[in-house]
Amino acid sequence: MTTNKANPNELVICADEKSRPRWASRSELCWEYFDNEWGRPPVDLNALFEILTLVVFQVGVTWHAVLSKREGFRQAFAQFDVAKVAAFNEDDVERLLDDLQIFRNRRKINAAITNAKALLELNDETGTFDSIIADHSTDATAMVKHLKALGFTHIGLTSLSILQQAIGVTELKAA
């Protein structure tokens, strides 16, 4: 049985005549994100947390949908301040579930808070998040298990691959 599902990383020519992956060809918003941010290391922990959170919320929807709500996510998640989000409680979860500017998915909201806590728990012994996902000696399945053991959630093989590409650890995979 064959499927006609298009590969999201397949390169296509956009209306501005630049070549980009199919997922980044939907809108100028996606073009700008791909051209100016994709594949670049985050500048600090909060920037890393933003990418991680966007990837968590992107699973199951398009990048265009997530990026169109990015400003709402920034407001809802305290400008992606890791320490502030790690301190969110059930009242904050309820507030976020009522926030029309974001995707109101309890599991993903809780994952963002849990991941903020896990990021803050990393230390010299465990390594930094980006150093962990940049470890090419570890296969992806083992890496996902390791991240989950460190307290991260909503991280699977697909989201790990997206994260690695988003922060420039690996190149865009066209296959």
Model confidence pLDDT, tens digit, residues 15-48: 999 999 999 999 999 999 999 999 999 999 999 9
Pull the structure tokens for residue 120: 């803050």
Domain architecture of the chain: domains with CATH? 7-36 (no CATH), 45-166 (1.10.340.30)
Q: Report DSSP state, residue 130.
A: H
> What confidence score (pLDDT) does residue 175 get?
44
User: What predicted TM-score, i.e. pTM, was given to this entire model?
Assistant: 0.91
Decide: 31 and 24 in contact? Cβ < 8 Å. Answer: yes
The per-residue pLDDT for 166 is 95
Angle between helices 106-121 and 90-97 (to 10 degrees): 140
pLDDT digits (tens, 9 = 90+) for 115-169: 999 999 998 778 889 889 888 788 999 999 999 999 999 999 999 999 999 999 9
